Amino acid sequence: MVPRFFQRNRVLLSVGVAVLLIAGTLVMMLTGGSEEAPEFSATTTGYIGGVEGNRETFLLSDYQGQVIVLDLMAEWCGPCKKVASETLKPLYEDEYRDSDEVVIISVSVAGDSLDLLEDMQREYGYDWLHVTDNDDEVITGYNAQQIPKVVVIDQQGRITFSALGIVKQDKLQREVESALSGEGSLEKVKQNSIFLMAIGAGALSFFSPCSFPLLPGYVSFYLTTRKTGSKGLNERTAREALPAGLAAASGILVVLLLLALLVVPFSHLLADYVPLLELLVGAAVFVLGVSMLLEWSLEPLLRPLRQLSSALGAAAGTVTRGHPTALAERGIRRVTGSNFSFAASREAGLTGQFWYGIGYGSASAGCTAPVFIALILSSLKYTLAGALLVFSLYAFSAAALMVAFTLLIASSESTIVDRLRASTRHIHVVGGAVMVAVGVYLVWFYLSTSTDLL
């Protein structure tokens, strides 16, 4: 009886187990740990206080007795530069430039060279310590699933504050002063293996501030392409919605694969262009929303893209003789229990789901690519198999959440669509308005975190 139950509900159970494993990993990573700041070795750029000096290697413990503001960053991370320009720079210049009690250290966790960091310091006037992590252990030691991450360490080497994302100057200064007075509240940071970090970072990339605003637009896009409603969260609904979820997840996987194949080997040549993906996605979503509001057809614009996609697919099929495609089709048929084919999927709107996944993954890369690249580079020092496992875990985590979210939309589809079904126009107006708002937000977020354009 139990095997029959699993057989009848294998999609729901499989997705549920995947989500529970991801959630359990996040809980395990974020609980427990130690108040003691993990030790690490780093090398300075030699450019301090606006003066060029010798590059030196030191241990974090060399600064024990001082309050340390630790900034985990990457040279081409837009939000990292926002923290540096709007928080750390005024804090250093106005408060702690000549202080013997406080030191600010920005640590690159994405493999930036010392020359690159020094060029950035000179260009933006970042006169405090900038260093590279010699052992590639800071990102795992300080559990930095996203950057920027700011940590405050008191005179005894204990962590009194840590925060992901942008931290305001007044907030950080209060935390530094509390640490100086010995009144800072202690925090625990758990050191994790690089493989657990990959799962956690992949999950958090799905909820990154660059991509998360796209989820309401995804709901609108999904509902406007569906022809029928659902009957709640059940196995039948899950099997019907699974191809759409897998299509969107495939788009995310393609972006991650391109990042791994192109950006990782040539990180310092291409990395500066990755944040532009967020701007392009925002503009594309905005145009799509306007077209829905004004009932414009985007077919003339999309036709060349579809022709290119078909040509690439035909070329790939010729080279591989169709084996990977056939294998993927058989796998999806087995999981969903439906007569799935990629040719029929174009008519079902799955191509659109795939391209939305491309957009979602691209937007996410604007915030999370530095951590993704850092994890891949750190894992390469072990074996190639380790790097492949890190990539697979990161990609699985992000893709599984996209599939789960699609199934969640499908389960509530009947309630949402039935209320709007009286007028198809209402669906397009609401969906278009949401996507216009999302597009405007993504463009604004990119501009607000890109110091080069301000």
Average pLDDT over every residue of 341-356? 63
Domains of the chain in sequence order: 41-192 (3.40.30.10), 195-453 (no CATH)
- What's the pLDDT at 437? 76
Average pLDDT over every residue of 306-317? 55
Highest mean pLDDT: which of 91-100, 335-344, 402-411?
91-100
Average pLDDT over every residue of 180-198? 82
pLDDT per residue as tens digits for the range 255-287: 888 888 876 666 556 556 666 666 776 777 777
Q: Is the pLDDT confidence value at 369 over 90? A: no
HSE of 136, CA atoms in CB hemisphere, 13 A: 17
Q: Is the pLDDT confidence value at 339 over 80? A: no
- What's the pLDDT at 56? 92
What is the C-alpha separation between 309 and 145, in angstroms, rounded? 34
Average pLDDT over every residue of 103-125? 90
Average pLDDT over every residue of 390-408? 88
What is the C-alpha separation between 319 and 296, in angstroms, rounded? 38
Query: For the stretch 399-428, what's the b/e string if a residue is b when 16 or more beta carbons lie within 10 angstroms of its beta carbon?
Result: bbbbbbbbbbbbbbbbebbeebeeeeeebb
Cα-to-chain-centroid distance, residue 93: 32
- Among residues of the chain, what percentage have pLDDT more than 90? 19
Residues 6+ apart with CB under 8 A from 406: 222, 241, 242, 244, 245, 248
3-state secondary structure of 106: strand
Q: Which of 2-6, 372-376, 444-448 has the lowest mean pLDDT?
A: 2-6
103 — phi, psi (to 5°)?
Answer: -130, 135
Q: Is the pLDDT confidence value at 303 over 70? A: no
Q: Which of 106-115, 160-169, 342-351, 374-383 has the lowest mean pLDDT?
A: 342-351
* End-to-end CA separation in angstroms for the chain: 64
pLDDT band at 390 (very low <50, low <70, confident <90, very high): confident
Q: Which helix (H) or strand (E) holds 44?
A: strand 41-44
- What's the pLDDT at 320? 47
- What's the pLDDT at 126? 95
Q: Pick the closest to residue 6 from 397, 338, 232, 17 (CA basis).
A: 17
DSSP 305-335: HHHHHHHHHHHHHHHHTTHHHHHHHHHHHHH
126-131-137 Cα angle (round to 5):
140
- What's the pLDDT at 265? 64
pLDDT per residue as tens digits for the range 403-453: 888 888 777 755 555 554 444 455 556 666 766 777 777 677 777 666 544
- What's the pLDDT at 41? 92
Give how far Cα 368 sits from Cα of 129, 134, 256, 324, Å: 24, 22, 11, 30
Pairing of strands 102-108, 129-133: parallel
The reported pTM is: 0.71
Which is higher by pLDDT, 311 or 213?
A: 213
pLDDT per residue as tens digits for the range 124-154: 999 999 999 877 788 888 888 788 899 999 9
DSSP 208-275: -TTTTTHHHHHHHHHHHH--S---SSSHHHHHHHHHHHHHHHHHHHHHHHHIIIIITTTHHHHGGGTT
Q: Is the pLDDT confidence value at 249 over 90? A: no
Burial of 434 (0-12, 13-18, 19+ CB in 10 A): buried
What is the residue-averaged pLDDT of the chain? Answer: 77
- Helices then strands (H, E): number in the chain? 19, 9
